Structure 1
Amino acid sequence: MISFDFIIVFLCFQIDRRRKDQCFLAKDYWWRALLIFMIQEILVNLVYAVYTWVEVFA
């Protein structure tokens, strides 16, 4: 999951080098990639934690 996210971010930055205006993850907005990555990881970990908790205590 984490490696897949890094591949997506890497590809977006590769596209950014060629078309700076059309890419969502432009160099000025590198923090957007970091924010999306952090939010996605937090959501995945939260869902996994809730699922594990339900499996253990249910």
Structure 2
Amino acid sequence: MLYSGKTAEEILLTNVEGLFERLDLGQHLSVNRRNGFYSMTLKIREHAAQAVAAT
């Protein structure tokens, strides 16, 4: 639900890294899951940036 209902601009302004740190994901997820989670959020941000650039 991190990005649910947000515009592309709002997604780009979301401080995902700060949220991950506050949740202390490094302690709660395995390295592979953490890397996958980061990769997924980066891909979402890439799509959001493309959407913003297209407007």
Large movers: runs of 4+ above 3 Å: none
Unaligned stretches of 5+ residues in structure 1: 13-24, 26-32
Any unmatched runs of 5+ in structure 2?
1-16
TM-score by length of structure 1 reads: 0.50
Higher helix share: 1
Identity of aligned residues (%): 3
Name the counterpart of 1:44. 41
Task: Quote the offset at 1:57 in angstroms.
Answer: 1.4
Number of residue pairs aligned between Structure 1 and Structure 2: 37
- The alignment's C-alpha RMSD in Å is 2.1
Higher relative contact order (CA 8 A, sep 6+): 2
